[in-house]
Amino acid sequence: MRGADFGPEERAEHSLEAPLSIHDLTVAYQRKPVLWDVDLEIPEGRLAGVVGPNGAGKSTLLKACLDLVPRASGEVMVYGRPYRAERQRVSYVPQRESVDWDFPVTVLDVVAMGTYAELGWLRPVNRRMRERAMEALEKVRLGDLADRQISELSGGQQQRTFLARALAQKADIYLMDEPFAAVDAATERAIVEILKDLRNAGKTCLVVHHDLSTVTQYFDHVVLLNMRVVAAGATADCFTEENLRRTYGGQLTVFAEAANALRKGVR
């Protein structure tokens, strides 16, 4: 299933502008700042990881890009145009725990939600969109479970369902909030494969990640975040011990883990 699934007609048209650029972004929850003056540019066709300690504003960064939380200042540009104008090129994979998995819908229903925006107001899901949803489901290898009620899914399957929903959107940019949180090793590998396929098809992914030990293995681009962007760029250049110390600061245990991960990555 590698590579072949994303045909040439789905390839993002070449653009001189970066897929995602964020300027002077500041977000505050009730006067307590969460993100300060974030300036960030993700080049096309990158698989970018966002890492940082708890409360660093990683999820908020994604949500602010998507207009889901109010911005105190700043702007988000998608391929050089304001996000609102290019919204359909951006796809969001929220945290798995953000929804009620007891909701009375099937797996295919959830994936088909990725096509709702394209369908527009009042038009019900048609056969074309159902087929597209099914295709996306096959890509994450959940084709057999299309008619299952979503409460019957395991955590890893839930995560893959969310991923399929994003794929069904046929976007060019994918913003994912901890897709690897509490999934089994097999699912993690399957998701990484899909992310790499997306990148190889010229798509851009920004992935909130918590496991420092796999950063060098998964991502070719990294954003080190702690309320501000500590460092951002190619993983080989930016994922350094010095930058990690500046990101994780006093959190010694995390830092030890990070340094350890780094040594492993270098090796």
Partner 1 sequence: MGTGAVLPEMRVRRQTRFAAVGLFLLLTGTGVLIALEENLLKVFLLRNYNTRLVVLSTTLLGISSGMVGSFLLLRRRSLMGDALSHATLPGIALAFMGLVALGGVGKELGWLLGGAALSGLLGVVAVTLICRLPRMKEDTAMGIVLSVFYGAGVALLGLIQEMPGAGAAGLETFIYGKTASLVGSDFQILWLITGGVVLVSAAFYKEFKILCFDEAFAASTGWPVRRLDLLLLGLVTAVTVAGLQAVGLILIIALLVIPPAAARMWTSRLYRMLILSGLIGGMSGWIGATLSALLSKLPAGAVIVLVASGFFLFSLFLGTERGILVRLLRHLSLKRRVERQNLLRAFYEVLEQRAGGRSPEAFVSWQELLARRSWSPRLLYRIARRALEAELIEEMDRSGLLLSPEGLAAAAKVTRNHRLWELYLIEHADIAPNHVDRDADFVEHVLGERLTRHLEQSLPDILRTGAPAVPGSPHGL
Q: Which is nearer to partner 1, 166 or 258 (CB)?
A: 166
Q: Which is nearer to partner 1, 56 or 176 (CB)?
A: 176
* Angle, helix 127-139 to helix 155-168, in steps of 10 degrees: 130
CB of 126 to partner 1, least distance (A): 11
CB of 112 to partner 1, least distance (A): 9
CB of 116 to partner 1, least distance (A): 6
The whole-angstrom separation of Cα 44 and Cα 15 is 9
Q: Which is nearer to partner 1, 30 or 253 (CB)?
A: 30
Q: Which is nearer to partner 1, 14 or 84 (CB)?
A: 84
Amino acid at 262: L
Q: Which is nearer to partner 1, 160 or 165 (CB)?
A: 165
The whole-angstrom separation of Cα 140 and Cα 188 is 11
CA-nearest of 178, 195, 14, 204 to 95 is 178
Q: Which is nearer to partner 1, 151 or 260 (CB)?
A: 151
Determine contact, residues 25/37, Cβ cutoff 8 Å: yes
Dihedral Cα 58, 257, 189, 61, nearest 10 deg: 10
Sign of the Cα torsion 58, 64, 69, 72 reads positive
Q: What are phi and psi of 116, to 5 degrees?
A: -60, -45
User: By three-state DSSP, how is residue 225 classified?
Assistant: strand
Residue 251: count other Cβ atoms within 10 Å of its Cβ: 14
Which residues contact partner 1 by CB under 8 A? 30, 63, 66-68, 87-88, 90-92, 94, 98-100, 103-106, 109-110, 113-114, 116-117, 119, 121-125, 144, 149, 151, 165, 169, 184-186
CB of 237 to partner 1, least distance (A): 30
Q: Which is nearer to partner 1, 91 or 235 (CB)?
A: 91
CB of 99 to partner 1, least distance (A): 5
CB of 247 to partner 1, least distance (A): 26
β-pairing, 73-78 with 20-29?
antiparallel
CB of 118 to partner 1, least distance (A): 9
Determine contact, residues 220/29, Cβ cutoff 8 Å: no
User: By three-state DSSP, how is residue 93 classified?
Assistant: strand
